[in-house]
Amino acid sequence: MNITLYALGNYNAGNLIAKTFEMSDYQDHEDYHFAVSQWLETVPYPYEPERGEEEWIVADSEGIPDQFVGEYSLYREFWAYYDLRRDISSDQLEAFDIFYDLFVSGDDNHLPEFQDKYIGYFENGDDFVYYWFTEVKGFAEFPPNELVIDYEDTKKVIFANNALCEESGHYFNNC
C-alpha cells in the first residue's frame, strides 16, 4: 500500500516533484504526516526557492481503498482501517478488503463483524456446496452415493435461503 504525492506549489508551476510513501513505514497518521512534512522541507518552493514547500496534492495511490484518499490528503480514518488489516492473517487480507468495500462505512472496529460474516475462500461453487453440506449442515457424507447433485442450482438455493454473497471466490453471509 502506498500513496504518491506532488509538491503542490511546484505542481501549480508545472513541475512534477513526486514522492511515494509506503504505508508500512508508518505507525499512525502523525508519523506519516511528519514524514510528508520532512519531505516538503527538502523541496524548494518555485517562487521563493529559499523556503520549502508547504502543501501537497495526491497524485496516485496503490492498495488504499478510495474512501480514504482525497484530492489533497490521506484521511485520518485510513489508519483505523490499516490497524485492522494488521490483525488479519495474510490469507484473509483479500477477503477483508472485499468485505470493507462491500459492507463498511465509517472507521469503527469492524474486525468482529468481518469474522462473523466471512465464510471462506473456495475455488469454485462445487467446493462451496460441498463445504456447506459437510461443515455447516453436518452431513458426514455428501453427496450421498445414490444422489446426483446439480451444484450450480444447489448453490443458488443456498444463497437465496441464507442471504449469502460471493466476490472473487470469497463467500460472506448476512449480505
**φ, ψ at 87 (rounded to 5°):** -90, 0
Read off the pTM.
0.64
The 10 Å Cβ neighbour count of residue 171 is 23
- Torsion angle of alpha carbons 99, 103, 109, 114, nearest 10°? -40
In tens, the pLDDT along 110-164 reads 667 788 888 989 999 889 988 888 888 877 766 666 677 788 888 889 988 888 8
Contact in structure between 56 and 40 (CB atoms under 8 Å): yes
